[in-house]
Chains A and B, each alone.
Chain A
Amino acid sequence: MSCWETLADYGLRSLGIGERLLPRSDFTLCQQFVLIGSGMIWNVYFGVLALFSGFFLATGLALSKAAKNPFLRKPAEWFIFVFRGSPLFIQFFFAYFLFLSLKQVYPILTPLTSATLGALVVLFFNTAAYSAEIFYGALQSVPKGDIEAADAYGFSGWPRFRRIIWPTMLRLAWPAYTNEAIFLFHATTLVFFSGFPAAKQKGDALYYANYFADKTFNPFIPYPILAGYFILLTLLLIGLFGLINKRLNRHLPTAPKRGERRLVPGFLR
């Protein structure tokens, strides 16, 4: 079987499209690359959706945590503490069994017991809590002068937040937020190792890597492949977040590059 056929058979296997049975013997390198890569679809799915939705909840939580009103502040503080203070692995387990119990009372909640939705909800809350703490820290370090200047120009309320405080908060939080994004993508590998079952062997990259390692009893091929995929993903993420960072900082004077500096004679500076 050529590698193209393998790609056609297993390229979308993690979504349930293509060959139904996983390879059982005579594993080729191509099969391992294709299946583990196919599993990456789930990692990207969980990561992207949780990160995107978590961003908004995190902003809200950070603002609530910084609020003076205790009815806003206390719930936000507790939410952040609970999700940052306990292991994600335990959160997955607890959530899965909680959803199982809920399902018996409210059958409408059945989709939550599948990884597709249930694990996404947990990841969403988790990343929201971590990002909220980062945003809160950044919010506290927005320069006082920026806000005073905004007041002086007649900004207040929503426009002041939208145009002055929020962009500065993001700018300050961005390096730490990039780290959080990377860790979130790493955390997506936990999904199918906690309570959530991989229905019909539709799993993520680690699920397939583990499958191959178990079957061949040779960890030296599937795990490095997985590592390679994740390093690529991490580099991509760093690149993307770097672009956003550049945009957030575009109004700031950039340090002149070494080459340019030398062109200007000393007495002109």
Chain B
Amino acid sequence: MFQYCADPSSLDGLTWLSCYLTTAKHTAFYVSFGTVLLLLAVTAPAALAMGFLGASAARSRLLPLSVLGKGYIAIVRGVPDIAFFLFFVIALDQGIEYLRHIALCPDWDQPIRQGNDFLVCPAAKAPLGTSPQWVHEVYGFGLAVFTFALVFGAFAANVLFGAMRAVPRAQLETAEAYGMNTRQIFWRILVPQMWVYALPGLSNLWMVLIKATPLLFLLGVEDIVYWARELGGTKTPQFTDYPHGDWRMWYFLFLLVFYLAFTRASEIVLDRVMRRLTRGQATMGGEAQRKAAA
């Protein structure tokens, strides 16, 4: 990157470090922080949408729908999330390939499961074997986002389900008395009021989501954990211009500090949002704010 980096073996101290930290691989490491942030930015709304669907289904009056919603919440919450991450990525991959296989190769006569192999026709591979590297990466990332949304959607559904029940019953009864139908009550009365009750749970969920991002590594995405292991490992002079010992401890310390800073920043922002939302609400928090102002 810098001019003086041409011959690293002649450098030492800070200049060596400045060259070392700007190698192409380190740039990839820094970019992977962007991957994590992107995942969070995409997953959070997706999980919220899943949660909304789940919670609406769980409180539905139709029995099958409510069983489906409650079952979804209970099963995902009862099983370690890492198991879901490992399971869904293969399951989704196979599911997509299987559906494409049925659609694209109707005259394929061999069975798909041959002993321990899962074989579909080449045209049904997702993504296609011939497609460029970035398509594979985007596909992998998409699977990861979907899995995250599915798992955290269940947690969000649980929070929203509780929040919907926390809205005072009288509000809904009043709406009924004014002649609103079920749909109107849901969209005009229940949904706008539930957010205050949901926010503590949702902000907690956001913290959990932040802390689940290192699991991306298990989904085959080249994320910060992957690079920290890769870059931190012992490097011998044969393979690199920057030989060093086992520095993985320091790389992971850096990740630890990154996550701590991120958590702290989120805490501060969420505190502000909560203060903003409780303003003027008929809750204990709102009352405390009124008293402090007076």
Whether A87 lies near B86 (C-beta < 8 A) is no
Whether A223 lies near B83 (C-beta < 8 A) is yes
**In this complex, what residue of B is CB-closest to A91?**
B256
Whether B83 lies near A97 (C-beta < 8 A) is no
Given contacts A94-B253, A206-B83, A230-B83, contact A86 B116 (CB under 8 A): no
Q: Is B38 an interface residue (CB 8 A)?
A: no
Min C-beta distance of A33 to chain B, whole Å: 16
Whether B253 lies near A87 (C-beta < 8 A) is no
B residues 100-123 in Cβ contact with A at 8 Å: 113, 116-118
Q: Is B225 an interface residue (CB 8 A)?
A: yes
Whether A94 lies near B256 (C-beta < 8 A) is yes
Whether B117 lies near A217 (C-beta < 8 A) is yes
Cross-interface CB contact of B86 among A27, A215, A223, A230, cutoff 8 Å: A223
Give the residues in chain B near A193, CB-CB below 8 Å: 82, 218
Give the residues in chain B near A189, CB-CB below 8 Å: 80, 82-83
Whether A218 lies near B118 (C-beta < 8 A) is yes
Cross-interface CB contact of A230 among B79, B225, B259, B260, cutoff 8 Å: B79
Whether A219 lies near B252 (C-beta < 8 A) is no
Given contacts A94-B252, A206-B86, A219-B86, contact A85 B260 (CB under 8 A): yes
Whether A190 lies near B82 (C-beta < 8 A) is yes
Whether A86 lies near B215 (C-beta < 8 A) is no
Whether B225 lies near A219 (C-beta < 8 A) is no
Q: Given the complex of chains A and B, what is the CA–CA distance between A187 and B91 in angstroms? A: 22
Scan A96-110; emit 1 where CB is below 8 A from any B CB, else 0.
011011000000000
Whether A87 lies near B252 (C-beta < 8 A) is no
Q: Given the complex of chains A and B, what is the CA–CA distance between A218 and B260 in angstroms? A: 38
Cross-interface CB contact of B113 among A94, A97, A218, A230, cutoff 8 Å: A218
Q: Given the complex of chains A and B, what is the CA–CA distance between A81 and B259 in angstroms? A: 11
Whether B83 lies near A231 (C-beta < 8 A) is no
Whether B248 lies near A216 (C-beta < 8 A) is no
Cross-interface CB contact of A86 among B86, B113, B118, B259, cutoff 8 Å: B259
Give the residues in chain A near B79, CB-CB below 8 Å: 186, 226-227, 230-231
Give the residues in chain A near B118, CB-CB below 8 Å: 217-218
Whether A219 lies near B90 (C-beta < 8 A) is yes
Q: Is B17 an interface residue (CB 8 A)?
A: no
Whether B116 lies near A209 (C-beta < 8 A) is no
Q: Given the complex of chains A and B, what is the CA–CA distance between A215 and B117 in angstroms? A: 9
Min C-beta distance of B185 to chain A, whole Å: 29
Q: Is A25 an interface residue (CB 8 A)?
A: yes
Min C-beta distance of B150 to chain A, whole Å: 14
Q: Given the complex of chains A and B, what is the CA–CA distance between A234 and B118 in angstroms? A: 33
Give the residues in chain A near B80, CB-CB below 8 Å: 186-187, 189, 206, 230
Whether A25 lies near B252 (C-beta < 8 A) is no
Min C-beta distance of B151 to chain A, whole Å: 12
Cross-interface CB contact of A88 among B211, B225, B263, cutoff 8 Å: B211
Min C-beta distance of B18 to chain A, whole Å: 24
Q: Given the complex of chains A and B, what is the CA–CA distance between A217 and B120 in angstroms? A: 13
Q: Is A201 an interface residue (CB 8 A)?
A: no
Give the residues in chain A near B249, CB-CB below 8 Å: 94, 97-98, 100-101
Q: Is A90 an interface residue (CB 8 A)?
A: yes
Q: Given the complex of chains A and B, what is the CA–CA distance between A209 and B214 in angstroms? A: 21
Give the residues in chain A near B81, CB-CB below 8 Å: 186
Give the residues in chain B near A88, CB-CB below 8 Å: 211
Q: Given the complex of chains A and B, what is the CA–CA distance between A90 and B228 in angstroms? A: 10
**In this complex, what residue of A is CB-closest to B232?**
A97
**In this complex, what residue of B is CB-closest to A93?**
B252
Q: Is B37 an interface residue (CB 8 A)?
A: no
Whether A25 lies near B116 (C-beta < 8 A) is yes
Give the residues in chain A near B94, CB-CB below 8 Å: 219
Give the residues in chain B near A215, CB-CB below 8 Å: 116
Whether B214 lies near A227 (C-beta < 8 A) is no
Q: Is B264 an interface residue (CB 8 A)?
A: yes
Scan A195-225; emit 1 where CB is below 8 A from any B CB, else 0.
0000000000010011001011111100100
Give the residues in chain A near B117, CB-CB below 8 Å: 217
For B113, B217, B246, B252, the residue with the greatest tally of chain A CB atoms inside 10 Å of its CB is B252
Scan B154-186; emit 1 where CB is below 8 A from any A CB, else 0.
000000000000000000000000000000000
Give the residues in chain A near B248, CB-CB below 8 Å: 93, 97
Give the residues in chain A near B264, CB-CB below 8 Å: 81, 85
Min C-beta distance of B93 to chain A, whole Å: 9
Q: Is A89 an interface residue (CB 8 A)?
A: yes
Give the residues in chain B near A86, CB-CB below 8 Å: 211, 256, 259-260, 263
List 9 A-B pairs, Cβ < 8 Å: A84-B263, A86-B263, A93-B228, A100-B246, A186-B81, A206-B80, A227-B78, A227-B83, A231-B78
Instruction: Give the interface of B toward A (CB within 8 A).
Output: 75, 78-83, 86-87, 90-91, 94, 113, 116-118, 210-215, 217-218, 225, 228-229, 232, 246, 248-249, 252-253, 255-256, 259-260, 263-264
Instruction: Give the interface of A toward B (CB within 8 A).
Output: 25, 27, 81-82, 84-91, 93-94, 97-98, 100-101, 186-187, 189-190, 193, 206, 209-210, 213, 215-220, 223, 226-227, 230-231, 234
